Chain A
Amino acid sequence: MKPTVDASGEATTLDKRVTSLDDAVQAMAETRDFGKHTKLRRVLEALRRVLMQPGGAAAVQARAQSLEEAGLFQGTDWASPEILIPSLVGPSLHSGDVDTVVMEATSELRMLAVARGDFAHPTLPAEDARQFLSQVLAANMELMFTPPSEAERTQQGRAAQLVRDMFRHLAEEIGYDSILDNLVDEIWRILRQRPVQVESVQSLITRIAVYRDDPDVDLGVSSGHGIDRLITSLFGTTEACREDPGIDVFRSRLEAMDTGGLQSEATGFARAMHDTGLVSPYHAELLRYLLRESDYLIGEALGLSDTGRNCLMRYSQLVHRLIDVAVHPQTAQCIYGLALLLDRGILYEPPIVPALWRQLGLELSPVAQERLTAVFGDVPNPQARLVAGVLSVLGQPLGVGQGDNPTCQSARALSMWSYNDPDYLLQVVVWAARDNEILMHFEGQPISSKDSEAGVASTLPTDLDPVSLLVVPHLDRIYAEMGRRCAGRPGDPHRWVNPEFHGWWAARGFHINVDVETGNLVDLDEFLRQFHASYHPSYNGEQPVIHPQPAGVAVTDSAARYVGWHAITILRVAPDPQDVMRVYFYNPNNDSGQDWGDGVVVSTAGNGERFGEASLPFDQFASRLYIFHTDPLEGGEPERVPAGDIARIIGYIERSWGDDRLPAGKLQALRRPTSL
């Protein structure tokens, strides 16, 4: 009698849940005010379960009036929709209390029903409801196209997805025009970080494009500045595909072109790709076509630098084969990876070229084939899909994201290997894809991903790029097993795990400012001085960071409240264009641009960041840092760091995640002057 999964499975589940909701609402409606709270739990549970299903938001919207009349909102802040404030919606939707999330989401759907005229509300005019929702959408746009952040994941679990589904429904129903300008800015902000995975951005751009082409919609003149570039980078990029004619027509047009025409197509696509980080499916078709033409035109279509062009000429046969196998309209995005891979010059590292040939001929294990097919479909075949994924990850080391999974360490390791040790990355991919097993060593003892039990993630991820999809489950288990082998050792296991897991360059000197037993802050002054002496050019002898170093930060939310520990990579420390010393780092979160509160806002562009880098001024970064590695033989000059700098950083810590972690005596001593 298990519920069967079939084509109509979703509809029936939603139907059942809706029936249960109707029953619960009916029971609440029949109850006089004093007893309503006894019926509330069932309504809330039913609402949550409906909202978690596809089509659930629409079902709740349709019931907005009966929900309100049954008394769902009675006695709460939502009882008078006319006095609700748009800016308070975001915090409610991000609440860790799932009931609050459900109430808020239901309130938005009620607004929607009012705005659409389906619910003639006694106190709220339709126009006000529409206005309200426009402001809500504009203020919470990230909900439309990024997966949940670390903070949302730990606090909300599956409710985070519920909020996103509801939000997308709101946007569809209310329309994008009111928020288009902000939305487009937001898309550009994400794209400037050059993520490997762009599916959600692509689908949002597609929806905007469809919406804009709707003759009933008047977007106004100024609306959506910059949206054209986004849309054309996917559809109608060049002359030959201007009106989005379909691959076949495009192909026949290419066949009729002379070299000049092809050159213009090639540069047009290359410019769009490097401008946005997005690749049009037509671009893939062009590149395949150019295989029969000249390497010069391939170089043009990839928009290569001198280095890249050099690599292409030197390893022409390999590049041809890579394009032939991996580049298809469905995998067009990997063209960007290929271009950057060539530009990085890593083909000149001796193992890379033979390793890529190995990748091209690799037989995948049935498990790997199945995983890839389940997530990406079977066109192109799983082998091709994986090669495409390898090109993206090698070309965009800092574009690797962890998806909606608690596996920041594994994503960080992949990124770090791609950045620093691409040969090893290719080896790891082979182990995972061919053998369905990765073997690492921890202090001389072998650890197989096959023997190890659960990792950090409890379910297999599906929202990842092809490489992460195959490799991360193995890494996650090994990482967790290394942690288990440190059980019983005093202090933090990252001291031993990080160097063994990532590679020899993760320095063995280890500093932590949290006492693992108590969770209290310890040795802050020394910790911060040592961090300066190891990483700040003014105190480490002007030595730039040589290898990417794993580090741990205490992530805080926009109110500067502690959220959780997070793994990042320190990439560079350098002055920005305004001469402010900044730490540039990699964050495996899908969107690094996060507000950590108390004025600490992580920047992703405009402060000297390279694509994919996040950055903070040195002191602000130090204020969220809790673990770093350093070479113990390179001491630097910790004593030269001015006491004022240290005090300023400690101030940031005290106002955020260190709030309840300071030894009691000190906190009081600090608090006394302010309370006088």
Chain B
Amino acid sequence: MPQGEAAVRNPEKGYVALLGWSINAVEALDRFDRRYIVVAPEWAEEYCIEHDIPYVPWNFERLNDRSMEIAETLKQKGVDVAIPLFEETVEWAGAINSVLLDNPRLYGQAMLLRDKALMKRRAQLGGIRVGIFEEAHDRDDVIRFLKRVNQTLLKLDGDPNDPIHLKAFDKAGCLGHRVIRTPDEVDSIPEEEFPFLMESHLDGWEFAVEAWIHNGKIKFLNISEYVTLGYSVFVPATPELERYRPQITAQIEKLIKTFEIDFGFVHPEYFVTSDGEMYFGEVAYRPPGFKVFELLERAYGFNAYQGLVLAFDPKTTEEEIDAFFPREVVDASGVAGCFGVYPRRRVVRELQIPQETEDDDYYESHDLSSPLEETVTKRTAFGTHWGLVYFFGDDAYRMRDLLKKQEELDFYV
């Protein structure tokens, strides 16, 4: 059986650099035909040497004078393009690729994609619908914004407020994401979190998109359905959401045009309101969290990281990338979903997958670990989950109900 050996690399194709350490990405590239190199902090060195993984050490702090150094190093090695794996490496990829591809505009584009306030303005300029947003520098800003949003909504004194959302400018996903409903809650925001972005709450159905782009065209577009934000996601989405695919595709095309994206991968979030209107939330130029790539592989059989390489590699041909991706929805062998577990009790002793979860036909696996401490830190913002539970099955609606059900179960007791 052919296994355990590195794939044969094609010297005619591109040579890519992965920015950031992700074992799943490395593992996927290792069995792909492109030459690759991992750019990661020094702690990855020992592992890479031991396992014969091509590697250059680099610490991704804020861009500084030495930024050119890594770009030059990669250029000397003959690397064609850099691929960001994490939010923090997006601007690095922009900086490096502006050198490697001799296109200074790429750096500016990356900065746009890194700052949520800039990003929203750009989207607005491009004619994309966004909610109301503003930057906050202190607590008074937050109170003023909360009041103004609710005034706009014609709320009377005493009516429950619509919440507003606070998000760090440059963090991925739910990190640093808070919801504020009353002026009292404003006091609970720690000083060090300022400044940040404030947004009005969009009452709609939130979903995410993953789109692979080659020569300015969408090559594969996945719609990821959220069951509850921060808890669960599954692919492909229910027919109920997939019926918006034409409108969603139009939105992504608009996004590509607005942000002048020629190649690579975008991961935007949208809200669709009950009347079918799409609101843009934000967009990231890197793989999504919540292991959506792994879910896609389970559902469609293609490796999303390899797709990423094809979308970034300037030497990829149209035929090659078209042959790589399956047809959306119809080619999926099933629905893959995952659920992020947060302990529900204040004191936990051990990990115990609930029996009804374990016995469910759809259950497949999990990456939860046993608790190290007995007391669970209280969640204020949308925190980080303790791991994911994976499901796979035939029916998207049953998947949705199943993922919803998990929210009522204790995985840590």
Contact with A along B26-63 (1 / 0, CB 8 A): 11001100000000000000010011110000000000
A363 within 8 A of B: no
B285-302 near A? 1/0 per residue, CB < 8 Å:
000000000000010000
Chain B binder among A40-48, A411-419, A559-567, A634-642:
A40-48
With A34-B26, A41-B365, A42-B364 already in contact, 17 other A-B pairs whose C-beta atoms are closer than 8 Å: A1-B397, A3-B361, A16-B361, A20-B364, A29-B1, A30-B31, A31-B31, A32-B6, A32-B27, A32-B30, A32-B51, A34-B50, A35-B26, A35-B27, A38-B23, A45-B363, A45-B364
Contact yes or no, B3 A71, CB < 8 A: yes
Question: Can you list 19 residue pairs at the A/B interface with Cβ under 8 Å?
Answer: A3-B361, A20-B392, A24-B365, A29-B1, A31-B3, A31-B31, A32-B6, A32-B27, A32-B30, A34-B50, A34-B51, A34-B53, A35-B23, A38-B27, A45-B365, A46-B364, A69-B1, A69-B3, A70-B3
Other-chain residue from A1, A32, A46 in contact with B398 (beta carbon distance below 8 A) = A1
Determine the chain B residues whose CB is within 8 A of the CB of A16 once the complex forms: 361
B23 (CB) vs chain A CBs: closest residue: A38
- Is there a chain B Cβ closer than 8 Å to A49's Cβ? yes
The reply to whether the CB of A33 lies closer than 8 angstroms to some CB of chain B is yes
| A182 interfacial by beta-carbon distance below 8 Å | no
8 Å CB interface, B348-364 against A: 355, 358, 361, 363-364
Residue of A nearest to B6 (CB): A32
- Taking the complex as formed, is B390 at the interface, i.e. its CB lies under 8 A from any CB of chain A? yes
Chain A: CB-nearest residue to B27: A35
Q: Are A32 and B366 in contact (CB under 8 A)?
A: no
A30→B1 CA distance, assembly (Å): 9
Chain B residues within 8 Å of A30, by CB: 3, 31
- Please, how many residues of chain A have a CB less than 8 angstroms from a CB on the other chain? 25
Query: A23–B31 Cα gap in the complex (Å)?
Result: 17
A3 CA to B53 CA, complexed, in Å = 45
B122 → chain A, closest Cβ, in Å? 37
Scan residues 44-60 of chain A and give those whose CB is less than 8 A from a CB of chain B.
45-46, 49
CB interface residues, B 185-224, toward A, < 8 Å: none
Q: Which of A1, A31, A42, A70 meets B365, CB within 8 Å?
A: A42
B328 in the interface (beta carbon within 8 A)? no
Chain B residues, Cβ within 8 Å of A38: 23-24, 27
Measured in the bound complex, the distance between the Cα atoms of B28 and A30 in whole Å is 9
- Alpha-carbon distance between A24 and B24 when the two chains are bound, in angstroms: 15
Contact of B361 among A13, A45, A46, A158 (CB under 8 A): A13
> Is B65 on the interface with A (CB-CB < 8 A)?
no
Give the 3 A-B CB pairs with smallest separation, nearest first. Answer: A35-B27, A34-B51, A1-B398
Which A residues contact B (CB, under 8 angstroms)?
1, 3, 13, 16, 20, 23-24, 29-35, 38, 41-42, 45-46, 49, 66, 69-71, 158
**A-facing residues in B364-382 (Cβ within 8 Å):** 364-367
A42-B31 contact given A3-B361, A32-B5, A69-B3, CB 8 Å threshold: no
Q: Please, how many angstroms separate the alpha-carbon atoms of A16 and B5 in the complex? A: 30
Contacts of B361 in A (CB 8 A): 3, 13, 16
Whole-angstrom distance between the alpha carbons of A16 and B298 in the complex?
Answer: 15
CA A20 to CA B366, docked complex, whole Å: 14
What mask results when residues 380 to 399 of chain B are scored 1 for a CB within 8 Å of chain A, else 0?
A: 00000000001010010110
Secondary structure of the B contact surface, majority rule: mixed
- Closest B residue to A45 by CB, please name it: B365
Interface of chain A: mostly helix, strand, loop or mixed:
helix
Min CB distance, A623 to chain B, in Å?
A: 28
Q: Is there a chain A Cβ closer than 8 Å to B11's Cβ?
A: no
Contact string against A for B residues 311-337, beta-carbon threshold 8 Å, 1 for contact and 0 otherwise? 000000000000000000000000000
**Bound form: Cα–Cα A99–B204 in Å:** 43
A1 to B401, CA, bound (A): 10
Query: At the interface, yes or no: B246 with Cβ under 8 Å from chain A?
Result: no
Q: Given A45-B364, A45-B365, does the pair A31, B27 have CB atoms closer than 8 Å?
A: yes
- Check if B4 is an interface residue, CB within 8 A of chain A: yes
Complexed CA–CA distance, A45 and B353 (Å): 11
Q: How far is the CB of B28 from chain A (nearest CB, A)?
A: 8
| A48 closest partner in B (C-beta) | B358
B residues 262-285 touching A (CB-CB < 8 Å): none
Bound-complex Cα distance A30 to B395 (A): 28
Q: Complex formed: what's the CA distance from A34 to B392 in Å?
A: 26
Hey, which chain A residues are within 8 Å of B398, CB to CB? 1
CA distance A214 to B53 in the complex (A): 58
Nearest B-chain residue to A158, judged by Cβ: B355
User: Bound complex: CA of A29 vs CA of B363, how far in Å?
Assistant: 21
Q: Does A33 lie within 8 Å of B4, measured CB to CB?
A: yes
Q: Restricting to B7-26, which residues have a CB under 8 Å from any CB of A? A: 23-24, 26
B30 x A35 contact (CB < 8 A): yes
A632 CB to closest chain B CB (Å) equals: 38
Measured CB to CB, the closest approach of chain B to A556, in angstroms, equals 21
Name the distance in Å between A502's Cβ and chain B's nearest Cβ. 31
Q: Which A-chain residue is minimally distant from B389 (CB atoms)?
A: A45
Cα-based distance from A38 to B303 in the complex (angstroms): 14
B1 CB → nearest A CB, Å: 5
Are B4 and A32 touching (Cβ within 8 A)? yes
Say whether A49 contacts B363, CB under 8 Å. Answer: yes
Instruction: List chain A residues, Cβ under 8 A from B53.
Output: 34
Q: How far is the CA of A41 from the CA of B397 in the complex (A)?
A: 26
CA gap between A23 and B364 in the complex, in Å: 11
Q: How far is A29 from B5 in the complex, measured between Cα atoms in Å?
A: 10
In the complex, which residues of chain B have a beta carbon less than 8 angstroms from the beta carbon of A69?
1, 3
How long is the Cα–Cα vector from A3 to B362 in the complex, in angstroms? Answer: 10
Contacts of B6 in A (CB 8 A): 32
| CB-based nearest B residue for A65 | B1
> In whole angstroms, what is the CA distance A13 to B360 when docked?
10
Q: Given A34-B51, A35-B30, A71-B3: A42 and B390 within 8 A (CB)?
A: yes
Among A1, A23, A34, A42, the residue within 8 A (CB) of B395 is: A1
CB contacts (< 8 Å) of A23 on chain B: these are 298
Among A31, A66, A71, which residue has the most Cβ atoms of chain B within 10 A? Answer: A31
User: For residue B397, which residues in chain A have a CB less than 8 angstroms away from its CB?
Assistant: 1
Interface positions of B from 206 to 247, Cβ below 8 Å from A = none
Which residues of B lie under 8 Å from residue A42 when comparing CB positions?
A: 364-365, 390
Q: Which residue of A lies closest to B31 (CB)?
A: A30
CA distance A66 to B6 in the complex (A): 19
**Bound: A361/B101 CA distance, A:** 93
Q: Across the interface, which residues of A come within 8 angstroms of B390, CB to CB?
A: 42
Instruction: Identify the closest chain B residue to A21 (Cβ).
Output: B364
Contacts of B26 in A (CB 8 A): 34-35
> Using Cβ atoms and an 8 Å threshold, which residues of chain A touch B365?
24, 41-42, 45-46
Chain A contacts for B5, CB-based, 8 A = 32
Partner of B27, one of A1, A34, A46, A66: A34
A20 to B24, CA, bound (A): 20
Residues from chain A with a CB closer than 8 A to the CB of B51 are: 32-34
Determine if A32 and B31 form an interchain contact, defined as CB atoms under 8 angstroms apart.
Answer: yes
* A66–B3 CA distance with the chains assembled, in angstroms: 11
Q: Shortest Cβ distance from B108 into chain A, in angstroms?
A: 36
Interface string of B94-134 (1 = CB under 8 A from A): 00000000000000000000000000000000000000000
- A residues in contact with B298, CB < 8 Å: 23
CB distance from B362 to the nearest CB of A (A): 9
CB-defined contacts of B358 to chain A, threshold 8 Å: 49
**Complex Cα–Cα for A256 and B321 (A):** 88
Quote the shortest CB–CB distance from B387 to chain A (angstroms): 10
With A and B bound together, what is the CA distance between A69 and B392 in angstroms? 25
- Within the complex, the shortest CB–CB distance from B257 to chain A, in Å, comes to 37
- Complex CA–CA separation, A70 to B2 (angstroms): 10
In the complex, chain B residues whose CB is within 8 Å of the CB of A70: 3
Chain A: CB-nearest residue to B52: A34
How many angstroms between the C-alpha atoms of A29 and B3 in the bound complex? Answer: 6
How far is it, in angstroms, between the C-alpha of A33 and the C-alpha of B30 when the chains are bound? 11
* Chain B residues near A32 (CB-CB < 8 A): 3-6, 27, 30-31, 51
- Of B364, B367, B390, B398, the most chain A CB neighbours within 10 A belong to B364
Q: Which residue of A lies closest to B394 (CB)?
A: A1
Chain B residues with CB below 8 A from A20, complex form: 364, 392
Docked complex Cα distance between A71 and B3 (Å): 9
